């Protein structure tokens, strides 16, 4: 079976189209600090607007625990969406109540409304099938069809993602279609050499993706906080660096599997070690096998890959035809520990092939470090969803759209 796409819905002129977006953007004092996920929805929304559909956009934001919470309101998103579309966007003050019903009923062809945060209703994330279904049926009364375009939530069996797609005629929007196409290329016959770069804080977050991709890749590069568990598995003393002792045997297994399969496992040869977790902390470059041989001794902690490692990682990436990167190389939010992540991002922009930034913190990092989105082959909007797809897991929000 293949994914049902927008074309399968026929003409949508005059129809009320619910679009399940992923507007889960970071906010600070009510201001959006990264609008990447809002912009990612524009191709689908503009297509519907141009067709003359009456668009009802919906999303979650944060974890408001099933009750209204002003700090998680989608009002700033509606305002930003209006600016990006260059037209008014109505905003409903509830999810399925009077305000949402009035906003949906008032729409004319080509107009857009955003309803309030879906997670203000406990039915959206309910574990109980009947409660979830009841909320989905209330949502369904707002529209005629569903376009599912929130890739960041397709791994969740939630009312607006799964149940609503069963109730209404449904199809994937352009964003989900693109995400599935790109991620499928990473698992089925990727162009070689194929390198996967993994970072972020914990090995335990990446167990499934390492397991699933090890047989498929040529090179696996490991940085970020998770590198210290790999280094410790090889006998290094890592001071106070992030270490998952309960994963050491698992990591040793990955090291052995990589060797058996002829996969080149590229681990850091140096790291930036700091006296404390602070942007102004004293820090030095240390050899990866001697991280405690610094002025800080066993109390030092590694916060980034070192310059030699950054150069080596960059060379491997540039020589590859397919690259998937998930997880920063260090604490990129602090300038002294951002250079490893910057080097990896820069190398990805030079790849003559498919370069994919795997959502989450990696996507935030490339934007924060000043890279343009079109410098990369693809920036995924779904960190957890991307990883679960690459782990080979079944994703409910895709299965309900015909993907298998």
Catalytic residue among 39, 185, 202, 321: 202
How many residues would you count in the chain? 404
Q: Is residue 384 annotated as part of the catalytic site, yes or no?
A: yes
- Quick one: 312 and 365 in the same domain? yes
Decide which of 359 and 258 is more confident. 258
Tell me the per-residue pLDDT of 77-114, one tens digit each, with 9 for 90 and over: 999 999 999 999 999 999 999 999 999 999 999 999 99
Residues 164 and 262 in one domain: no
pLDDT band at 363 (very low <50, low <70, confident <90, very high): confident
- Scored b (16 or more CB within 10 A) or e, 232-254 reads bbeebebbbbbbbeebbebbeeb
pLDDT at 319 over 90: yes
pLDDT at 298 over 70: yes
Q: Is residue 398 part of a domain?
A: no
Q: Is 302 annotated as a binding residue?
A: yes
Q: Give domain status of residue 279, yes or no.
A: yes
**359 labelled binding-site residue:** yes
| pLDDT in the model for residue 1 | 53
Both 104 and 197 in one domain: the answer is no
Closest by CA position to 148, among listed 115, 181, 170 = 170
pLDDT computed for residue 202 by the predictor: 85
Q: Is 301 a residue whose pLDDT tops 90?
A: yes
Does residue 309 fall inside a structural domain?
yes
Does the annotation place 37 within a ligand binding site?
A: yes
Average pLDDT over residues 3-24: 96
- Domain limit, last residue, from 174, 200, 235: 174
- CA 162 to chain CA centroid, Å, is 19
Q: Which of 174, 203, 231 is the last residue of a domain?
A: 174
My answer on whether 230 and 281 are in the same domain is yes
Kind and range of the H or E element at 356?
strand 354-357
Q: Is residue 267 part of a domain?
A: yes
CATH code of the domain containing 286: 3.40.50.1260
- For residue 210, pLDDT beyond 70: yes
pLDDT of 373: 86
- Please tell me whether 166 is known to bind a ligand: no
- Residues 181-191, mean pLDDT to the nearest whole number: 90
Task: For residue 262, say whether it is annotated as part of any ligand binding site.
Answer: no
157: containing domain: 6-174
Helices (H), 287-376: 307-318, 339-349, 360-368
Mean pLDDT over 149-175 rounds to 97
With CA atoms as reference, report the closest residue to 45 among 114, 102, 99: 114
Active site residue 237: no
- Cβ(98)–Cβ(105) below 8 Å: no
- Assess whether 166 and 276 both reside in one domain: no
202 has catalytic annotation = yes
Please pick, among 4, 37, 132, 133, the residue that the annotation labels catalytic. Answer: 37
Based on the fold, state whether residues 140 and 47 are members of the same structural domain: yes
Average pLDDT over residues 274-300: 95
Backbone angles phi, psi at 247, to 5 degrees: -105, 5
* Residues 163, 189 within the same domain: no
144 lies in the same domain as 268 = no
Instruction: Check the annotation: does 14 bind a ligand.
Output: no
pLDDT of 208 reads 85
| Mean pLDDT, rounded, of the chain | 95
Q: Does residue 23 sit in the same domain as residue 164? A: yes
**Domain end: 131, 153, 174, which one?**
174
Residue 152 a catalytic site member? no
Average pLDDT over residues 360-383: 88
What are 254-277's pLDDT values in tens digits? Answer: 999 999 999 999 999 999 999 999
Q: How confident is the model at residue 338 (pLDDT cuts 50, 70, 90)?
A: very high
Among the listed residues 123, 239, 300, 360, the single catalytic one is 360
Q: Is residue 42 one of the residues assigned to a domain?
A: yes
Residue 212, marked binder: no
> Is 36 within any annotated ligand binding site?
no
The reply to whether 42 and 168 lie within a common domain is: yes
In a domain, 330, yes or no: yes
pLDDT in tens, 231-253: 999 999 999 999 999 999 999 99
Active-site residue, from 252, 384, 393, 402? 384
Residues 82 and 105 placed together within one structural domain of the fold? yes
Task: Look at the chain and report how many structural domains it folds into.
Answer: 2
Q: Give the separation between CA 57 and CA 75, rounded to whole angstroms.
A: 12
Q: What is the pLDDT of residue 205?
A: 85
Question: How many Cα neighbours within 13 Å face the side chain of 210?
Answer: 25
pLDDT tops 60 at residue 380 = yes
Classify residue 49: in a domain, yes or no: yes
What is the arithmetic mean of pLDDT over 285-306?
Answer: 95
Both 162 and 234 in one domain: the answer is: no
Q: What's the pLDDT band for 367 if we cut at 50, 70, 90?
A: confident
In a domain, 396, yes or no: no
């Amino acid at each position: 079976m293949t994914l049902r796409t927008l074309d399968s819905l026929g003409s949508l002129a005059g129809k009320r189209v619910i679009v399940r977006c992923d507007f889960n953007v970071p906010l600070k004092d009510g201001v959006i600090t990264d609008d990447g996920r809002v912009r990612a929805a524009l191709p689908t929304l503009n297509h519907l607007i141009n067709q003359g559909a009456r668009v009802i956009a919906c999303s979650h934001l944060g974890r408001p625990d099933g009750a209204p919470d002003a700090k998680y309101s989608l009002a700033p998103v509606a305002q930003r969406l209006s600016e990006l579309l260059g037209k008014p966007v109505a905003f409903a003050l509830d999810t399925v109540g009077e305000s949402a019903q009035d906003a949906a009923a008032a729409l004319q062809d080509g107009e857009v409304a955003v309803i309030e945060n879906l997670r203000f209703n406990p039915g959206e994330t309910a574990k109980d099938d009947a409660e979830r279904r009841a909320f989905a049926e209330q949502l369904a009364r707002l529209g005629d069809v569903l376009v599912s375009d929130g890739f960041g939530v397709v791994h969740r069996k939630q009312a607006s993602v799964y149940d609503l797609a069963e109730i209404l005629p449904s199809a994937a929007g352009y964003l989900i279609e693109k995400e599935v196409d790109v991620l499928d290329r990473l698992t089925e016959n990727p162009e070689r050499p194929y390198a996967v770069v993994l970072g972020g804080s914990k090995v335990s977050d990446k167990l499934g993706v390492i397991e699933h991709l090890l047989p498929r890749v040529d090179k696996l590069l490991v940085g970020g906080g998770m590198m210290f568990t790999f280094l410790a598995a090889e006998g290094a003393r890592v001071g106070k660096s992030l270490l998952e002792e309960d994963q050491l045997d698992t990591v040793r297994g990955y090291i052995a599997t990589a060797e058996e399969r002829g996969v080149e496992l590229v681990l850091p040869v140096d790291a930036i070690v700091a006296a404390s977790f602070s942007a102004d902390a004293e820090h030095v470059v240390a050899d990866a096998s001697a991280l405690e041989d610094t002025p800080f001794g066993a109390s030092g902690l590694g916060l980034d890959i070192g310059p030699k490692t950054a150069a080596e990682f960059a060379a491997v990436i540039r020589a590859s035809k397919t690259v998937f990167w998930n997880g920063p190389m260090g604490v990129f939010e602090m300038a002294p520990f951002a250079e490893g992540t910057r080097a990896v991002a820069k190398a990805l922009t030079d790849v003559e092939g498919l370069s994919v930034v795997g959502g989450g913190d990696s996507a935030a990092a490339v934007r924060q470090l000043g890279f343009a989105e079109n410098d990369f082959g693809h920036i995924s909007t779904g960190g957890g969803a991307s990883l679960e797809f690459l782990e080979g897991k079944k994703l409910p929000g895709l299965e309900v759209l015909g993907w298998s």
